[in-house]
Amino acid sequence: MLTDKRILLIVAGGIAAYKTPELVRLIAKAGGSTRVILTDAGAQFVTPMTLGSVSGDTVYDDLFSLTEESDMGHIQLSREADLVVVAPATADLMAKMATGLATDLASTTLLATDKPVMIAPAMNVRMWEHAATQQNLQTLSARGVHMVGPEEGDMACGEYGMGRMAEPAYILAAIQSFFQASNRLMGQRALVTSGPTHEAIDPVRYIANRSSGKQGHAIAAALAAMGAETTLVSGPTNLPDPAGVHMVHVQSARNMLDACESALPAHIAVCAAAVADWRPADEAASKMKKLPGEAPAPLSLSENPDILRTLGAAGNKRPGLLIGFAAETDSVVENAQKKRLSKGCDWILANDVSAGTGTFGGDENVIHLVDEHGVEDWPRLSKIAVAQKLANRIVDTLEASR
C-alpha cells in the first residue's frame, strides 16, 4: 500500500506518456496521491486535462507562471513529495538530469529536489544503447537515482529492442518496493570500501590497479537507499559520490584502514576495494630523477595491512556481517572458500577477473557467493543489480537472525 505517500510524477515527452494516467490511477488505488509536472513535449502525448482529472489536482507545466510560482513554487513542489517519479524518462531529460541543466519546470524541479528520484526510461533502442545515454545512466545510478525498466519489445517507431517504458503496474510495484525497502536497514550502520588504492613511489608516481569503484559505490548506494547509515571509504575513482552516504576519500591502503577503523562500530561491512597488497617500502620525499647512464633504482615493496582480515579479527568491534570480495583468475570458487576462512569474513563474493571477462572497470559482474552453507551462482548482472541483490540478501539475513 502507498497510504499517505505523495508522489511527484514528472511526465516527459515520449509516446509512453499516454500510459501515465493509468499510473496515476493505480497510485491512487493503492492509497497514494500524485501531483503531476508535464513537459511541453509530454503535453503532445497526453493532455493536462486528462492528468488533472485523474490526479484531482492542477497539472504543473510552466516554470514562469506567476500563479503557479506564488501558489506552489518549484522548490516547494520538489520538496513536498516523498518520491519523485519520472515516467517516461526520455533520453533528453536523463541527459539534463545527469548534467544538471535546469531549462524548464521538470528539469529545474529535478535539480532542486532533495527527495529520492525514480526514473522509468523510455526511448528508441538506438538512443538507449548510445554511449551518451549509458553514461548518463551510470551517473544517475551512482547518484542514487532508482530505475524501473526499460523493457524489451516492439517500439512505437517500428523497431524492436530495449527501450519500452515499464508498464504502469510494474512502475507501481517498483514504487511500492521502494517504500518497503527504504526503511528495511533503518538503524543499521554500514561500512563499504571501494575503488583502488594509490601507493606512492614519490610525490608524482604511484602503484595502482584497474578497479573503477563501480561495484563498491553501487553497494554503498543500495545500502543507503534502504536506510542504512552508510560510510563509503574509497580510493581514487572517477565516480561521483553516491547520494546519501558519508563519503571518506582516501589514497593508500593505510589511509583506508584508518578510515575504516574510525567508522566502526558497524553492523554490516562490505570490502569491495581492490586494495594494493604491497606498497613501495620507502616513499621518496622528492621526485626520483632519471640519471643518464644509471640503471633504474630497484623498487622494494612492503606488505600493506589487510583491511578485511583486520576487520574480521577486530574482536568485539568486528562488524556483525562481514563481506569480502575475491578477485580471482583461476579456481575462482575454491580460492574464495579459502579466502573466506583465512580472512574471517562471513560471505565472499567471488568474481573472475581474467583478461577478457571485462569485470575490472566494466559494468557487469558474474558473482559466486560463498558462505558457510555453500556456493550460490548468480547470473551475469549489471553491477547495480548485483548491489541490489546483495543488499536484499543482507536484509533477509539480518531480519532472519532477529
CB of 336 to ligand CTP, least distance (A): 8
What long-range pairs does 383-388 form, CB within 8 A, spacing at least 24? 383/214, 383/215, 383/218, 384/141, 384/147, 384/218, 384/222, 386/215, 386/218, 386/219, 386/349, 387/215, 387/218, 387/219, 387/221, 387/222, 388/222
CB of 283 to ligand CTP, least distance (A): 17
Residue 378 contacts residue 367 (beta carbons within 8 Å)? yes
Residues of the shown chain interacting with ligand CTP in the complex, contacts defined by CB under 6 A? 193, 253, 271, 273, 275, 277, 304, 306-308, 324-327, 339
Our measurement of the distance from residue 82's CA atom to the centroid of its chain's CA atoms, rounded to an integer in Å, reads: 19
- Tell me whether residue 157 is one of the annotated catalytic residues: yes
Cell output for 14: 515520449
CB of 354 to ligand CTP, least distance (A): 13
Residue 255 contacts residue 155 (beta carbons within 8 Å)? no
CB of 365 to ligand CTP, least distance (A): 14
Given 157, 260, 271, 345, the catalytic residue: 157
Angle between helices 131-142 and 91-99 (to 10 degrees): 50
Residue 89 contacts residue 124 (beta carbons within 8 Å)? no
CB of 226 to ligand CTP, least distance (A): 21
d(CA 280, CA 270): 27
Calculate the alpha carbon distances from 220 to 141, 297, 345, 399 in Å.
11, 40, 18, 19
Kindly tell me which of 206 and 325 has the beta carbon lying closer to ligand CTP: 325
CB of 319 to ligand CTP, least distance (A): 12
Cell output for 116: 529520492
Calculate the alpha carbon distances from 147 to 137, 141, 170, 175, 185 in Å.
9, 8, 12, 10, 20
Kindly tell me which of 38 and 348 has the beta carbon lying closer to ligand CTP: 348
Kindly tell me which of 98 and 270 has the beta carbon lying closer to ligand CTP: 270
d(CA 199, CA 187): 35
What long-range pairs does 392-397 form, CB within 8 A, spacing at least 24? 392/181, 393/369, 394/185, 394/223, 394/268, 394/321, 394/323, 395/181, 395/184, 395/185, 395/226, 397/321
List, in sequence order, every residue forming a beta bridge with 154; answer none if it has no partner.
160
CB of 193 to ligand CTP, least distance (A): 6
Contacts of residue 171, Cβ cutoff 8 Å, sequence gap at least 6? 23, 85, 87, 120, 148, 149, 165
Question: Which residues are catalytic, by number?
Answer: 157
